[in-house]
């Protein structure tokens, strides 16, 4: 029998970014059904547009857009300046969204958007295009997959990333058509090479202008007949997307991916089939699919709890939710993302982050387990991320970790994360716990599986001078374990 | 007799102590720590897309000089290898290696449908995928999968870095990255990690968290193992005071030990020279040249040069024409340096790129890098290349 507290935490980790400090007491009292209704309600509001660009960059870019037609080439310095501003703004957007994952009560929406961010993976150095795509994803995260697919496919970020602008009548570029089928809808092995060729013809003429608006260029569109997945007609891109959505395979593929992300990497085929059938019948209502998952008994089965390796973003956001903190040096979070292998807006490729065991190697695991100590300023950041030449564009790395070299005797100066943890809410929730049960209570709140280590080892490394210091130090040690990597 | 420990250690390395040293260690005194025959690969990744045409220079090609009025390196400045070919002036140790028969140059190495994004192209090289294929494991990682079934320590492939590259991540096994053997995971919490690791037993059924415990245990034991091995027969040669040189010296020390490592991996960069290419490439090449020169000398002095195959690669070369900022933009095929005492083909192994036959201003590849991998895997590491690369690639003859 799984206790409600564990079930609720399970729900918070999967349908959000983990339990928040001020939620801990409540999670012991309510039922998972009540909690899910509350999450759903909180996420029903329309999300705000996340804008990380400042007036300066907006002005620069508007200038180019207006002059765009007249002036063909920007001079070198202008170009360099804009690129640098863009890069900086993408970092700000990263931190802004991460902040939302930590603080927003729209946990379900942000988590869903995080899933789609990996599903519709796109790299783009234009922050305005990135913002637009993120907005499409956040607006439609819990809406209809049909709308989401159409809108993403018409977004400047995706069209550019997948070379749609190069897809012209007589010179088709199949990149977009291939990825739409392979990664966004049906999955490999469910269509032929010829389907891709024909679909690419239907997508000819799709593109985006310099402002990031979708444009249909009639003269580069091939308006002959195409045959895609057995259907023939003078299709355009929208028609092809609808043909893909007509395939039950699309529902199965998406549902399975969602199941593996939200429930268990080990797929229960029957459950997925049941979910996929209902998803298809609802015409791809994502909200209903998620409700089907999060309100079913099997979601709370022991075998589905604590079996997922947190992604780096989930790990970081999770730490910050349970230990709310002020960060003096927010950029350090970008370094952590790079070191752990997941930088928002920089997926490794169009297939997104592979996840699971793939997150783990010697370096990343040790870094993950050191992270709580780093947030707690008891460990220093002495790890250097690899350079990303796509981001640097030939410049030297401006986030050199050398900046962060320091040691404890130097005080706060040079510490990377400079976090000030607000322990109050967290500590309060353990007020009524008797001393001898504190460790058990901490384990129960912080971990989704029973720890393999005994209480003695935590006690050995915790500071038992007084109740508060014990709670704090034991918490940090528990978070520095392999068990804490699981959710 | 009471000998203070320090004194003992001081004399220990001298003949005085030779009667106490076991026989197998005596071999070291003759320069042979591990008996020859233990072949290893050392890979130097030139990150950012090194400009191959200013590395191996076609000194008699007019198109080259016409395309690069500012950046082209004059014949008189280049280090002459043959009548047609010169090396970048900084690469003196490479030129020496060429004349000594220790260097091979493979030209126009690349792959079909080249990608010009750093990240993507590097992934293609590291995973050995086709350009429209996404693989989540690296070619060396899959070598570990194939070779290392059941080996306790992931030290068969080591990267000298804080972060492990995709190249060394397998589906089952991973290589291990470390920057400094003395400070593998310099953390105040290290003892805690050792304690929880020792409490975990693997008797119970396999849960996902057990994978983390397994990785942690392997990491901690490998850390000790690498540290001990690095001290067993440390390289005493002179190396320049640069990062790459230190890394190569660490590798040399490990090669002289009896560690089980077969592949070493190290990177240098950034070669992404869109602007001011001349200074940047020169600076990086100086670091590379002096470090590799010292490494070759060290290996030779210790009689291990024949057992080492060193090679360089970059995710792409650069465009034939210079750009307007004193640099070059992302291109395609590139040259690779091969160094070692075991080369069967030396010198300029295949033709220089044909600058008359370009693909929209870019070189056409003539050798697929996967053929190079297949050769290294099969002939040097005695591994099943086809299984690791997922396909049969013809082997080359350089080893």
Band of residue A73 on the pLDDT scale cut at 50, 70, 90: low
**Distance (Å) of CA A150 to CA A144, A174, A180, A250:** 10, 18, 11, 14
Statement: residue A72 has pLDDT above 70: no
Cβ separation of A452 and B176 shorter than 8 Å? no
- Of residues A184 and B36, more confidence is placed in A184
- Residues contacting B204, CB < 8 A, separation 6+: B210
Distance between alpha carbon A486 and the CA centroid of its chain, in Å?
17
Asked whether the beta carbons of residue A452 and residue B162 sit closer than 8 angstroms, the reply is no
The minimal CB distance from A388 to the residues B119, B195, B209 is found for B119
Tokens of A395: 């410049």
Phi, then psi, of B270 in degrees rounded to 5? -105, 135
Cβ contacts of A384 within 8 Å, gap of 6 or more: A400, A401, B161, B162, B163, B179
Beta bridge partners of B169: B174
Q: Which two tokens stand for residue A361?
A: 């190697």
Q: Are strands B176-178 and B308-314 parallel, antiparallel or unpaired?
A: unpaired
Look-up of token digits 């390196």 = B73
pLDDT of residue B16: 38
Comparing A395-404, A414-423, B29-38, B201-210, which segment has the lowest mean pLDDT?
A395-404
- pLDDT mean over A153-170: 89
Please compute, for residue B49, the number of CA atoms within 13 A of its CA located in the half-sphere on the CB side: 31
Q: Closest to A361 (Cβ–Cβ): which among B169, B201, B273?
A: B169
pLDDT at A385: 79
Confidence of residue B34 (pLDDT cuts 50, 70, 90): low
Asked if the model's pLDDT at residue B367 lies above 80, the reply is yes
Neighbours of B27 (CB within 10 A): 12
Vertex A442: Cα angle to A440 and A446 (nearest 5):
120
Structure tokens at A100: 């939302």
Task: Name which of B192, B227, B283, B325 to mutate to probe chain A: the one with the most chain A Cβ atoms within 10 A of its Cβ.
Answer: B192
Q: Is A163 on the interface with B (CB under 8 A)?
A: no
Which one of B197, B204, B212, B318 would you mutate to disrupt binding with A, by most A Cβ within 10 Å of its Cβ?
Answer: B212
Distance CA A185, CA A191 (A): 11
Please give the distance of CA A448 from its chain centroid, rounded to a whole number.
21
β-pairing verdict for B85-87 and B157-160:
unpaired
pLDDT mean over A59-84 = 74
Q: How far is B176 from chain A (nearest CA, A)?
A: 6
Contact A15, A114 (CB under 8 A): no
pLDDT at B310 exceeding the cut of 90 = yes
d(CA B298, CA A173): 51
CA distance A328 to A415: 10
Q: How confident is the model at residue B30 (pLDDT cuts 50, 70, 90)?
A: very low
Residue A184: phi and psi, rounded to 5, are -95, -25
Mean predicted confidence (pLDDT) in A40-52: 96
d(CA B105, CA B268): 19
Q: How far apart are CA A259 and CA A161, in angstroms?
A: 27
Separation in Å, CA of B163 to nearest CA in chain A: 6
**Rounded to the nearest 5°, which phi and psi values hold at A476?**
-60, -40
What are the residues facing A247 on neighbouring strands? none
Residue B200 is encoded by which pair of tokens?
């975990």
Lowest mean pLDDT among A340-344, B28-32, B64-68: B28-32
Residue in the block written with tokens 């015409």: A283
d(CA A350, CA B131): 12
Beta-bridge partners for B347: B104
CB-neighbour burial class of residue B371 (10 A; exposed 0-12, middle 13-18, buried 19+): middle
pLDDT score recorded for residue B28: 42
| pTM score of the predicted model | 0.87
Range in A166-180, A274-288, A378-392 with the lowest mean pLDDT: A378-392
| Percent of chain A topping pLDDT 90 | 77
Put the strands of the sheet holding B79-80 in their side by side order.
B56-58, B85-87, B79-80
Backbone angles phi, psi at A148, to 5 degrees: -60, -50
**Beta-bridge partner residues of A466:** none
Count the Cβ atoms, other than its own, within 10 Å of residue A192.
Answer: 12
pLDDT of residue B35: 60
CA distances A437 to A433, A441, A442, A467, B308, Å, are 6, 6, 9, 12, 59
C-alpha closest to that of B337 among B130, B97, B133: B97
Mean pLDDT of the A36-54 span: 96
Residue of chain B with shortest Cα separation from A393: B272
What confidence category does residue A174 fall into, taking pLDDT thresholds of 50, 70 and 90?
confident
A233 vs B: CB within 8 A: no
Q: Read off the pLDDT band of B10 (50, 70, 90).
A: very low
Of A306, A308, A379, the CB nearest to B189: A379
Comparing A53-57, A66-70, B381-385, the range with the smallest average pLDDT is A66-70
pLDDT at res. B22: 40
Q: Judge whether A358 is closer than 8 Å to chain B, CB to CB.
A: yes
Share of chain A above pLDDT 70, in %: 93
Count Cα atoms within 13 angstroms, Cβ side, for B360. Answer: 5
Average pLDDT, chain A: 91
Q: pLDDT value at position B316? A: 97
Kindly state the percentage of chain B with pLDDT values over 70.
87
Predicted local confidence at residue B185, as pLDDT:
62
The answer to whether the CB atoms of A394 and B48 lie below 8 A apart is: yes
Mean pLDDT in residue range B10-33: 40
pLDDT of residue B15: 37
Distance, in Å, from the CA atom of A168 to the CA atom of A216, rounded to the nearest integer, reads 11
Closest CA of chain B from A118, distance in Å: 14
Model confidence band, residue A1 (pLDDT cutoffs 50, 70, 90): confident
Please answer whether residues B267 and B45 qualify as being in contact, where contact means their C-beta atoms are separated by less than 8 angstroms: yes
Quick one: which of A49, A104, A15 has its CA closest to A286? A15
| Spatial separation of the C-alpha atoms in residues B93 and B285, rounded to whole Å | 11
What residues in B contact A457, CB-CB < 8 Å? 192, 195-196, 199
In whole angstroms, how far apart are CA A91 and each of A84, A87, A343, A368, B328?
Answer: 11, 6, 10, 21, 27
For A84, B184, B218, the CA distances from B222, given in Å and listed in that order, are 41, 9, 6
At how many degrees (to 10) do helices A237-246 and A145-153 cross? 150
> So what's the pLDDT on residue A399?
42
Spatial separation of the C-alpha atoms in residues A311 and A304, rounded to whole Å: 17
For chain A, the three-class secondary structure string (H helix, E strand, C coil) is CCCHHHHHHHHHHHCCCCCCHHHHHHHCCCCHHHHHHHHHHHCCCCCCCCCCCCHHHHHHHHHHHHHCCCCCCCCHHHHHHHHHHHHHHHHHHHHHHHHHHHHCCCHHHHHHHHHHHHHCCCCCCCHHHHHHHHHHHHHHCCCEHHHHHHHHHCCHHHHHHCCHHHCECCECCCHHHHHHHHHHHCCCCCCCHHHHHHHHHHHCCEEECCCCCEEECHHHCCCCCEEECCEEECCCHHHHHHHHHHCHHHHHHHHHHHHHHHCCCCCCHHHHHHHHHHHHHCCCEHHHHHHHHHCCHHHHCHHHCCCCECCHHHHHHHHHHHCCEEECCCCHHHHHHHHHCCCCCCCCCCCCCCCHHHHCCHHHHHHHHHHHHHHCCCCCCCCCCCCCHHHHCCCCCCCCHHHHCCCHHHCCCCCCCCEEECCHHHHHCCCCCCHHHHHHHHHHHHCCCCCCCCHHHHHHHCCCCCHHHHHHHHHHHHHCCCHHHEC
How far apart CA A415 and CA A407 sit, in angstroms, is 8
Assigned token pair, A204: 């000819």
pLDDT 10s digits, B199-242? 887 655 578 999 999 999 989 889 889 999 999 999 999 999 99
């Amino acid at each position: 029998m799984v206790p409600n507290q564990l079930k609720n935490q399970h729900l918070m980790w999967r349908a959000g970014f983990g339990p928040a400090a001020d939620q801990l007491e409540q999670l012991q009292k309510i039922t998972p059904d009540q909690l899910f209704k509350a999450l759903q309600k909180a996420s029903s509001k329309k999300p705000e547009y996340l804008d990380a660009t400042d007036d300066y960059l907006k002005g620069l870019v508007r200038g180019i857009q207006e002059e765009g037609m007249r002036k063909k080439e920007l001079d070198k310095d202008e170009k360099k300046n804009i690129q640098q501003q863009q890069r900086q703004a993408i970092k700000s957007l990263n931190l802004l969204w991460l902040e939302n994952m930590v603080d927003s009560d729209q946990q379900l929406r942000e988590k869903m958007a995080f899933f789609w961010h990996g599903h519709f993976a796109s790299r783009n150095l234009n922050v305005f295009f990135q913002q637009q795509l993120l907005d499409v994803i956040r607006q439609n995260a819990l809406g209809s997959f049909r709308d989401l697919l159409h809108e993403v496919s018409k977004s400047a970020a995706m069209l550019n990333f997948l070379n749609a602008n190069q897809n012209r009548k007589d010179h088709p570029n199949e990149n977009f058509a291939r990825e739409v089928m392979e990664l966004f809808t049906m999955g490999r092995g469910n269509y032929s090479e010829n389907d891709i060729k024909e679909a690419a013809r239907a997508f000819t003429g799709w593109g985006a202008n310099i402002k990031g608006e979708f444009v249909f260029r009639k003269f580069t569109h091939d308006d002959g007949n195409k045959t895609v997945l057995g259907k023939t007609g003078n299709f355009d891109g929208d028609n092809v997307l609808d043909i893909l959505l007509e395939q039950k395979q699309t529902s199965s593929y998406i549902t399975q991916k969602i199941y593996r992300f939200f429930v268990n990497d080990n797929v229960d085929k029957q459950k997925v089939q049941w979910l996929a059938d209902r998803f298809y019948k609802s015409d791809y209502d994502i909200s209903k699919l998620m409700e089907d998952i999060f309100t079913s008994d099997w979601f709370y089965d022991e075998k589905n709890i604590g079996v997922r390796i947190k992604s780096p973003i989930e790990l970081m956001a999770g730490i910050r939710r349970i230990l709310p903190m002020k960060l003096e040096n927010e950029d350090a979070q970008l370094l952590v993302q790079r070191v752990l292998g997941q930088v928002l807006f920089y997926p490794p490729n169009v297939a997104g982050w592979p996840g699971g065991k793939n997150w783990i190697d010697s370096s990343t695991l040790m870094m993950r387990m050191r992270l709580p100590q780093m947030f707690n300023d008891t460990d220093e950041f002495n790890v250097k991320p690899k350079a990303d030449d796509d981001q640097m564009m030939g410049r030297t790395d401006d986030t050199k970790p050398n900046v962060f070299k320091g040691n404890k005797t130097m005080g706060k100066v040079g510490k990377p994360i400079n976090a000030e943890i607000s322990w109050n809410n967290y500590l309060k929730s353990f007020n009524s716990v008797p001393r001898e049960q504190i460790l058990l209570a901490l384990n129960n709140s912080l971990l989704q599986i029973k720890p393999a280590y005994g209480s003695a080892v935590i006690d050995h490394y915790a500071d038992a001078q007084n109740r508060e210091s014990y709670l704090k130090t034991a918490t940090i040690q528990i978070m520095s374990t392999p068990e804490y990597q699981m959710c | 007799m009471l000998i203070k420990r320090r004194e003992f250690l001081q004399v220990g390395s001298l003949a005085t102590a030779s009667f106490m040293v076991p026989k197998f260690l005596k071999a070291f005194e003759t320069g042979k720590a591990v008996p020859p025959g233990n072949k290893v690969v050392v890979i130097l990744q030139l990150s950012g897309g090194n400009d191959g045409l200013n590395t191996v220079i076609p000194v008699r090609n007019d198109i080259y000089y016409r395309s690069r009025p500012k950046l082209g390196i004059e014949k008189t400045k280049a280090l002459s290898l043959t009548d047609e070919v010169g090396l970048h002036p900084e690469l003196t140790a490479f030129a020496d290696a060429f004349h000594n028969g220790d260097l091979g140059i493979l030209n126009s190495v690349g792959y079909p449908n080249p990608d010009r994004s750093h990240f993507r192209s590097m992934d293609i090289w590291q995973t050995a995928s086709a350009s429209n294929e996404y693989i989540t494991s690296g070619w060396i990682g899959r070598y570990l999968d194939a070779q290392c079934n059941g080996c306790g320590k992931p030290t068969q492939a080591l990267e000298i870095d804080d972060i492990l590259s995709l190249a060394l991540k397998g589906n089952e096994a991973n290589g291990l990255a470390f920057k400094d053997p003395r400070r593998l995971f310099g953390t105040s919490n290290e003892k805690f990690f050792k304690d929880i690791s020792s409490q975990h037993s693997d008797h119970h059924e396999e849960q996902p968290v057990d994978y983390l415990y397994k990785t942690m245990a392997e990491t901690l034991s490998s850390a000790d193992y690498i540290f001990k091995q690095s001290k067993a027969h440390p390289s005493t040669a002179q190396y320049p005071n640069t990062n790459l040189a230190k890394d190569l010296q660490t590798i040399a020390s490990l090669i002289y030990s009896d560690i089980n490592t077969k592949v070493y991996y190290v990177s240098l960069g950034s070669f992404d020279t869109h602007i001011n290419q001349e200074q940047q490439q020169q600076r990086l090449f100086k670091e590379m040249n002096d470090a590799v020169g010292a490494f070759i000398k060290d290996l030779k002095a210790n009689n291990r040069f024949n057992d080492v195959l060193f090679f360089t690669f970059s995710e792409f070369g650069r465009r034939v024409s210079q750009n307007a900022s004193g640099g070059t933009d992302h291109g395609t095929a590139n040259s690779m340096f091969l160094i070692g005492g075991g080369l069967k083909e030396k010198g300029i192994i295949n033709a220089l790129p044909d600058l008359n036959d370009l693909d929209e201003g870019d070189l056409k590849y003539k050798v697929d890098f996967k053929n190079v991998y297949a050769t290294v895997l099969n002939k040097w590491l005695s591994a099943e290349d086809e299984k690791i690369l997922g396909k049969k690639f013809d082997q080359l003859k350089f080893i």
